[in-house]
Structure 1
C-alpha cells in the first residue's frame, strides 16, 4: 500500500515538472511566462514538498539531521529563495534551474532513508544556528552561481559576438546584477544571525573543533560585508562584485567542507 508521503511527493514532482515545462516552452518560444501562473505552480510544489520534508525533519524525538533530510531541505530552501526573488524581480526564467534541483532533493529523501541523526547537546540554540547557517549557505551558493552567470553575460557583451547564448537566455544584465546584490544582502544577514546564535552553542571553542570554521566564516562575513558597503557607498559592481562573491563563498566552503574533510579523513577526528 502506497504511503501518504509518497503520494504527496509524487504530486509535488508533478507540480515541479509542470513548472519546468511551462517555463521551458515559453523560453523556447521566446514568450514571457505569466507571473501568476508560474508563482502558483511554484508555491504548490513548495507546499507539497514541505508537507513531506518537515514531518520527517521535525519529529517527536527531535530534529532528524540525516543526510537525506538535509539534502531535501537545502534544495527546498534554494527554490523558496528563488520564489521570493521572483515575486519582485523579473527573473521567472531562472526557476528553470531551481525547480529540477528541488525535485531531485525531494525524490532523494523519499527514495532513500538514513538512520535517525540527532544532536544531543546544544538544544534550541544549536537548531536555530544550524538552520540559519544552512539558509545562509544556500543563498550565498545561489549568489556564487549568479556571479558566474553574470560573468558569462559580461564576457559575451565585451566580445561583441553575434551568438550571445547567455545574453539571450538570461534576464537583462542590470536585472541580474540587482539580483546578485539581493542575494548577497540576504545571505549576509542570515550569516550574521547564524554567527550570533552560534555564540550560544559554544562550550569549549577548541575542544569542539570550531576555530577553523569560525575563522573562515568570519572572513567570509567580512568579504561580503565589504562588498555590500563598497556597492552602496562606492558603486562597486561588475567584475569586482563577481570576484568578491566567489572569494566570499570560497571561504565558506573552506571553512565548512574543507575543514571537515581534513578533520575526518586526515586527522580522523569527528567534525
Structure 2
C-alpha cells in the first residue's frame, strides 16, 4: 500500500520538478545569474528530481531510455554544483535546468519496461556505473561546447566581448575549460572501462546470459565510444591534441555512447511500439 501511494506521487513530483526547472531556467536566462531565489528554485527542482528517480527504482522496477537520461541529467547538475564552487559556469545554468526539465518529462512519459528480478545482486551497481559514465561525459560535452565558444571569442573577440559584457556573463579561460573537459572525460572513461569489463567478465552472472559475452548493438556502440575516448586521451597525452579536434572527438564519443543504450532503447520503446 505504501509503495502504491509512493508510485502514485510520481506524476505530481515530476510535474513539480519540471515547473521548478523551467522557472529556474527563466530566471537564469533573463538575468544571466540565479541569485538566491533562482538557486532555491534550482535546488528544489533537483531534490524533486532525485525523489522521482528514487521512487522509480522501487518495486516494480522500471528502467529504459527515459530514466537513463533523467539520471544522467541529475548527475550532470550535481557535477555542475560541485564545479561552480570553484569556477564561474553561469552559461550552463539555464541550459542544465532546461535539460533537467526535459529529461524528467521523458522519464515520466517513457518509464521503460518492467524489469524482472536481477540475475545478480551486482546488476544495480553495473547499471549505476554505466549511468555515472553517461553523466560525466554529458558534463564533458557541455564544457567542450564552452571551449568552442571560448575559441570563437578569441577569434572574433570584439563582438563577443561586447555581448558578454552586456549580459554580465564572465567566460572562463580556454585552458581552464580544456582542463575541466579532460578531467570529466578521464573520469567518464574510467567508469566506462569498468562497466565494459564487468559486462565482459561477468555477463552471465549479471544478465543471466549463456556463454558470457554477447555481441549486440549496445556492446558495439559502447566499444566504439570507448575507442574514441581512448584515442582522444592518448592523442592528448602523446600528441597534444586540443581545440576543435578534441571537441569533435568528445562529441563523437558521447554520441556513440548515447546510441549504445539510450538510442537503442528509444527505438525499442518508442519507435517500434508505434510501428507495431
Contact 2:71–2:135 under 8 Å retained in 1: no
Aligned residue among 101, 114, 119 for 1:103:
101
| DSSP-derived class of the 1:59 partner | coil
CA deviation string 1:82-129 (max 9, x = no partner): 33332333213312111111122223444x365752145533333322
Contact 2:69–2:262 under 8 Å retained in 1: no
TM-score when scaled to structure 2? 0.71
Contact 1:26–1:33 under 8 Å retained in 2: yes
Aligned residue among 144, 147, 164 for 2:144:
147
Alignment partners' CA distance in 2, 1:9 and 1:72:
11
Aligned residue among 159, 163, 168 for 2:159:
163
Deviates more, 1:134-143 or 1:209-218: 209-218
Give RMSD over aligned pairs.
4.0
The 1:241/1:214 distance shift into structure 2, 3 A limit, reads same
Contact 1:220–1:252 under 8 Å retained in 2: yes
Q: Which residue of 2 aligns with 1:58?
A: 57
The 1:115/1:236 distance shift into structure 2, 3 A limit, reads closer
Contact 2:18–2:100 under 8 Å retained in 1: no
Aligned residue among 177, 200, 203 for 1:201:
203
The 1:15/1:252 distance shift into structure 2, 3 A limit, reads closer
Alignment partners' CA distance in 1, 2:49 and 2:41:
12
Deviates more, 1:148-157 or 1:98-107: 148-157
Q: Which residue of 1 aligns with 2:183?
A: 182
Q: Mapping of 1:30-109 within 5 angstroms? A: 33=34, 40-55=40-55, 57-61=56-60, 63-109=61-107
The 1:175/1:195 distance shift into structure 2, 3 A limit, reads same
Unaligned segments of structure 1, at least 5 residues: 265-271
Paired residue total: 256
- Report deviation, 1:205: 5.7
Q: Which residue of 1 aligns with 2:3?
A: none
Q: Which residue of 1 aligns with 2:4?
A: none
Greater relative contact order structure (CA < 8 Å, 6+ sep): 2
Contact 2:66–2:112 under 8 Å retained in 1: no
Q: Which residue of 1 aligns with 2:132?
A: 135
Q: Which residue of 2 aligns with 1:267?
A: none
CA deviation string 1:59-81 (max 9, x = no partner): 234x3115543443343333233
Unaligned segments of structure 2, at least 5 residues: 1-7, 270-276
